[in-house]
């Protein structure tokens, strides 16, 4: 019995020692479990705080370390699903923002756009985001450059001042200014086209202007036609000026001639008066023409020559007349008699006749040519076969031209 008690005492002692050891280990494990729970509660609260940041939610106020601590184990089923729900909303928001960012990149024709997953992936989204920002920035720069150039061209070409800043902001008023200037330019163009068509028509060239495209060819056609018309006008104007100058010159000449004619008429009237005085002095009626005085050696003076053969030398074959250098003929002018030298010279041909010229019964004897002329006589050779006698008359008569043989 004693032995049994000893064995039982030992067993009880062993059990007590084992119970003390297990109690110690259980207390230590309880401390680890409680510490881990608290850390998990703190992490959940920190996560809720980050999820609430700039999100407009207040989940961290509900998921405090006390609210989800081990002492409120029964409330975990109500509290923790809210964290998962908000995480889901954040994921939905992330995906929507990623898709929107990708659409923004696509709208600016971003190169190497990438997939939607690349915009959601934590390892690649930052690079994709930066690429979209850079693409949008480049597009904005290009757009701003286009708008600035647009405003500059509008100012330099259309003479309308546009505010580039307002254009970038989409101000319809600025675009309205451009539209007004554009309509004005279109109206001017239509006016110019109408004017050019009319000018071409007046210049003989019908042209038409296309709604768009090549305006140069019809314009050059009109310019060429107008240029040709201008040249013709200038030529005509020059000829007209020359004609006007000629007319003015002729008018001046006519006026001068009219003056000369007037003076000549006065002189003529004076001369007529003098001539009438002369006619009256000569005993000629003023209504009659005044005979023209013969000149020395004139045909009229020579026709008045009348001489005689004064010597004939048949042995030597020459004759002598009483006509010489000093021979004169008379011209009766009114009651006056004028003496004129008929200019008897060697080579002059005379006619020898027998009879009376006055009575009209003279007979032709021969035609002689004077060889030598002295003051009061002249010598000529006797033509072969001519029967010339002293006392034959000698006068002047032009030789008749020889008739052509048929």
pLDDT > 90? residue 373: yes
Residue 218, pLDDT score: 74
What share of the chain has pLDDT > 90, as a percent?
20
What pLDDT band is residue 404 in, cutting at 50, 70 and 90? very low
Entry pTM? 0.42
What pLDDT band is residue 376 in, cutting at 50, 70 and 90? very high
What pLDDT band is residue 296 in, cutting at 50, 70 and 90? very high
54-92 pLDDT, tens digit per residue, is 878 877 777 777 777 767 777 777 777 877 787 788 788
Residues 259, 148: Cα–Cα separation, whole Å:
81
| End-to-end Cα spacing for the chain | 215
- Asked if 303 contacts 265 with a C-beta cutoff of 8 angstroms, the reply is no
What pLDDT band is residue 382 in, cutting at 50, 70 and 90? very high
Which overall architecture, per CATH, does domain 299-395 show?
Beta Barrel (2.40)
In 283-392, where does DSSP find H-type helix? 299-303
What pLDDT band is residue 295 in, cutting at 50, 70 and 90? very high
121-168 pLDDT, tens digit per residue, is 778 878 877 877 887 788 788 778 887 887 787 777 767 787 778 777
pLDDT > 70? residue 328: yes
Counting beta carbons within 10 angstroms of the beta carbon of residue 305, is it exposed (0 to 12), middle (13 to 18) or buried (19 or more)? Answer: buried
Per the model's pLDDT, the better-predicted residue between 127 and 346 turns out to be: 346
Tokens of 373: 């002329």
- Asked if 167 contacts 175 with a C-beta cutoff of 8 angstroms, the reply is yes
Q: What is the 3-state secondary structure (H, E, C) of the chain?
A: CHHHHHHHHHHHHHHHHHHHHHHHHHHHHHHHHHHHHHHHHHHHHHHHHHHHCCCCCCHHHHCCCCCCCHHHHHHHHHHHHHHHHHHHHHHHHHHHHHHHHHHHHHHCCCCCCCCHHHHHCCCCHHHHHHHHHHHHHHHHHHHHHHHHHHHHHHHHHCCCCCCHHHHHCCCHHHHHHHHHHHHHHHHHHHHHHHHHHHHHHHCCCCCCCCCCCCCHHHHHHHHHHHHHHHHHHHHHHHHHHHHHHHHHHHHHHHHHHHHHHHHHHHHHHHHHHHHHHHHHHHCCCCCCCCCCCCCCCCHHHHHCCEEEEEEEECCCCEEEECCCCCCCEEEEECCEEEEECCCCCCCCEEEEEECCCCCCCCEEEEEEEEEEECCCCEEEECCCCCCCCCCCEEECCCCCCCCCCC
Residue 28, pLDDT score: 61
Please give the mean pLDDT across all residues of the chain: 80
What pLDDT band is residue 258 in, cutting at 50, 70 and 90? confident
pLDDT > 50? residue 350: yes
SS3 68: coil
CA neighbor of 125 nearest in space, from 135, 115, 134 = 115
| Average pLDDT estimate for 187-210 | 73
pLDDT > 80? residue 216: no
How do the domains of the chain map onto residue ranges?
Answer: 2-105, 213-290, 299-395
Residue 310, pLDDT score: 96
- Asked if 354 contacts 363 with a C-beta cutoff of 8 angstroms, the reply is yes
| Average pLDDT estimate for 115-125 | 77
Tokens of 252: 């001046």
What pLDDT band is residue 406 in, cutting at 50, 70 and 90? very low
């Amino acid at each position: 019995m004693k032995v049994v008690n000893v064995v039982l005492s030992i067993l009880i002692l062993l059990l007590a020692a084992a119970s003390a050891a297990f109690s110690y280990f259980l207390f230590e494990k309880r401390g680890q479990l409680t510490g881990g729970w608290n850390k998990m509660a703190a992490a959940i609260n920190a996560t809720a705080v980050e999820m609430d940041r700039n999100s407009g939610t207040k989940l961290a106020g509900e998921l405090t370390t006390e609210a989800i601590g081990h002492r409120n184990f029964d409330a975990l089923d109500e509290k923790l699903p809210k964290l998962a729900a908000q995480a889901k909303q954040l994921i939905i928001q992330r995906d929507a923002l990623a898709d929107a960012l990708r659409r923004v990149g696509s709208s600016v024709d971003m190169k190497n756009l990438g997939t939607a997953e690349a915009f959601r992936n934590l390892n690649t989204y930052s690079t994709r985001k930066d690429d979209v920002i850079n693409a949008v920035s480049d597009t904005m720069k290009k757009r701003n450059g286009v708008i600035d150039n647009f405003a500059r061209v509008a100012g330099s070409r259309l003479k309308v001042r546009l505010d580039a800043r307002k254009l970038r902001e989409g101000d319809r008023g600025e675009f309205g200014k451009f539209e007004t200037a554009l309509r004005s330019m279109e109206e001017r163009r239509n006016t110019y086209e109408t004017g050019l068509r009319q000018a071409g028509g007046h210049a003989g060239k019908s042209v038409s202007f296309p709604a768009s495209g090549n305006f140069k060819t019809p314009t050059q056609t009109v310019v060429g036609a107008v240029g040709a018309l201008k040249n013709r006008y200038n030529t005509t104007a020059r000829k007209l000026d020359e004609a006007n100058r000629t007319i003015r010159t002729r008018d001046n000449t006519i006026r001068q001639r009219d003056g000369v004619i007037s003076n000549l008429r006065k002189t003529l009237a004076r001369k007529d008066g003098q001539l009438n005085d002369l006619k009256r002095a000569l005993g000629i009626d003023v209504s009659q023409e005044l005979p023209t005085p013969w000149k020395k050696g004139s045909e009229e003076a020579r026709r008045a020559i009348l001489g005689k053969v004064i010597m004939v030398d048949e042995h030597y074959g020459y004759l002598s007349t009483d006509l010489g250098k000093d021979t004169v003929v008379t011209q009766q002018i009114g009651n006056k008699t004028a003496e004129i030298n008929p200019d008897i010279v060697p080579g002059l041909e005379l006619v020898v006749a027998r009879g009376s010229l006055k009575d009209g019964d003279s007979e032709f004897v021969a035609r002689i040519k004077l060889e030598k002329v002295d003051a009061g006589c002249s010598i000529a050779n006797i033509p072969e076969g001519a029967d010339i006698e002293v006392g034959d008359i000698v006068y002047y008569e032009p030789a008749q031209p020889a008739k052509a043989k048929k």
